[in-house]
């Protein structure tokens, strides 16, 4: 296996490849360190192309051995052109990375697959997490296919559609009276008391690495070329930071040439601690979330400062999207591309439109926009848009209705 140990992102303290939530010296996040000789030998274009049609084709760049068999494997989701939307917002090329095609219809299947593989390697026999909904679905489904128990801690007001999907897989759900940050604190405390695999606490160092595979796939699906711009939703900040890492990995290995893409981060107005820190050139400060985009409602983002730094290194920008614009952007995405993304996609598209308006993205740019979750999970912002025309089963009534519309 190419991963050799963990290293603190702040002080450099090293640790074994175990279930460790943070650096024992300074409490900063830990990241896997890889053997460069193994990676260079194993991560070639030819070997990647010959691999499975899932994230496990990038096994030499992940901190766990691929499971055998790889059940319900996520990844290698479609990258589709969106020419009508590109023309609408004013960019040369626009592609949608559809992680709605993953088993539970969000990018969280990627991170959970990696974390679960590590949990099984360590002999941990139960999965657990704090979640705003998508991670709950992914953990519950992964536990079901692997034959493991799962326990989920969600804010009590999470979308019912997400809770129902989680329950369908047989997970035990605790609806916490509080927001996501309260759930996160609870799971951190419980991780010291229970021998469970808390995927986004004790296994976070491995879990986060699954997000890199989005960048790997974009490069491969563009014919081993880099886009000019990538637009990413920001909750904890881990996805954006690992997206940068993914592009850097391929560039450092010589698998792709050219400058790294500019990263555009997106947050809703009601929970924008990372975008605010970027705008004010300071460290991230916690906020109390109040947003319709609940999958992005993390008021104290663990990787917020790392996300800000990644955007700055790339020459990109961060944008905040008004709450009343999120539903409008969901509708624009669906009506021009046929893709129904969740509220996070409404935020991400809103940030792209703002970036074009501000000149952060130009008319000659090739842009990739991440669609990280399915709109069927977040119907509330659009419920008032359903206005069917009721008629009798009579052709003359239809023709009359059409005349009135005209």
Non-local CB neighbours of 125 within 8 Å, separated by 6+ positions? 148, 149, 195
> What is the pLDDT at residue 353?
98
Question: What are the backbone angles phi and psi of residue 15, rounded to the nearest 5°?
Answer: -145, 160
CATH number among 3.90.700.10, 3.40.50.300, 3.40.630.10, 3.40.50.1100, domain 79-104+208-384: 3.40.50.1100
User: Could you tell me whether strands 93-98 and 79-81 are parallel, antiparallel, or unpaired per DSSP bridges?
Assistant: antiparallel
User: Could you tell me whether strands 197-198 and 127-130 are parallel, antiparallel, or unpaired per DSSP bridges?
Assistant: parallel
DSSP SS3 for 154: strand
Triad 6, 242, 52: Cα angle to 5°: 90
260-290 as b/e, with b when 16 or more CB fall inside 10 Å? bbbbbbbbbbbbbbbbbbbeeeeebeebebe
Q: Give Dmax over CA atoms of the chain in angstroms.
A: 77
The full set of domain ranges for the chain reads 79-104+208-384
> What is the pLDDT at residue 388?
85
Give pLDDT < 50 ranges for the chain.
none
Cis peptide before 44 (omega within 30 of 0): no
Residue whose tokens read 């025309």:
389
**Rounded Cα–Cα distance for residues 95 and 18 (Å):** 38
- 8 Å CB contact between 93 and 131: no
Question: What are the backbone angles phi and psi of residue 154, rounded to the nearest 5°?
Answer: -125, 150
Instruction: Give the chain's radius of gyration (CA, Å).
Output: 21
DSSP for 170-182 reads T-EEEEESS-HHH
**Rounded Cα–Cα distance for residues 28 and 10 (Å):** 6
Non-local CB neighbours of 224 within 8 Å, separated by 6+ positions? 45, 255, 256
> What is the pLDDT at residue 406?
62
pTM assigned to the model: 0.95
DSSP SS3 for 311: helix
Give me 208's structure tokens. 């986060």
**Rounded Cα–Cα distance for residues 205 and 212 (Å):** 12
DSSP annotation of 385: G
Number of H helices, E strands in the chain: 15, 13
> What is the pLDDT at residue 391?
85
DSSP SS3 for 128: strand
φ/ψ bin of 145: left (φ > 0), alpha (ψ from -120 to 50), beta (otherwise): alpha
Triad 72, 131, 54: Cα angle to 5°: 25
Triad 310, 133, 172: Cα angle to 5°: 130
Residue whose tokens read 């010589």:
254
Q: How many CA atoms lie within 13 A of 8 on its CB side?
A: 13
Q: How many CA atoms lie within 13 A of 193 on its CB side?
A: 5
Of 111, 109, 225, which Cα lies nearest the Cα of 169?
A: 109
């Amino acid at each position: 296996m190419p991963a050799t140990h963990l290293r603190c992102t702040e002080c450099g303290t090293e640790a074994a490849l175990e279930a460790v939530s943070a650096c024992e010296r300074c409490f900063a996040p830990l990241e896997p360190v890889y053997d460069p000789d193994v990676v260079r030998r194993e991560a070639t274009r030819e070997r990647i192309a010959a691999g499975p049609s899932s994230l496990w084709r990038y096994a030499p760049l992940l901190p766990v051995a691929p499971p055998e068999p790889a059940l319900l494997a996520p990844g290698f989701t479609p990258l589709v052109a969106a020419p009508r939307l590109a023309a609408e917002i004013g960019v040369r090329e626009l592609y949608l990375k559809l992680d709605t095609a993953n088993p539970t219809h969000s990018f969280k299947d990627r991170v959970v697959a990696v974390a679960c593989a590590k949990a099984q390697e360590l002999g941990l026999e139960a999965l657990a997490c704090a979640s705003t909904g998508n991670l709950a679905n992914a953990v519950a489904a992964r536990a079901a296919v692997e034959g493991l128990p799962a326990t989920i801690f969600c804010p009590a007001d999470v979308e019912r559609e997400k809770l129902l999907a989680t329950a369908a897989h047989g997970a035990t759900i605790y609806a916490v009276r509080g927001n996501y940050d309260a759930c996160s604190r609870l799971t951190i405390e419980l991780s010291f008391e229970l021998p469970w695999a808390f995927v986004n606490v004790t296994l976070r160092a491995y879990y986060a690495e699954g997000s890199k595979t989005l960048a790997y796939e974009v490069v491969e699906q563009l014919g081993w070329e880099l886009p000019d711009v990538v637009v990413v939703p920001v909750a904890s900040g881990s996805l954006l930071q690992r997206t940068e890492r993914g592009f850097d990995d391929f560039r450092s290995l010589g698998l792709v040439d050219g400058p790294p893409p500019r990263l555009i981060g997106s947050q809703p107005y009601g929970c924008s601690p990372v975008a605010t820190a970027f705008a004010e050139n300071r460290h991230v400060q916690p906020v109390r979330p109040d947003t319709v985009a609940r999958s992005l409602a993390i008021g104290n983002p663990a990787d917020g400062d790392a996300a800000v730094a990644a955007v700055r290194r790339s020459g990109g920008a961060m944008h905040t999207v008004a709450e009343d614009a999120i539903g409008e952007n969901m509708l624009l995405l669906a009506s021009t591309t046929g893709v129904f993304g969740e509220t996070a996609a409404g935020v991400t598209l809103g940030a792209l439109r703002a970036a074009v308006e501000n000149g952060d993205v130009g008319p000659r740019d090739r842009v990739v926009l991440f669609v990280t979750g399915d709109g069927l999970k977040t119907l509330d912002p659009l419920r008032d848009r359903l206005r069917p025309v009721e008629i009798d089963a009579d052709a003359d009534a239809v023709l009359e209705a059409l005349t009135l519309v005209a």
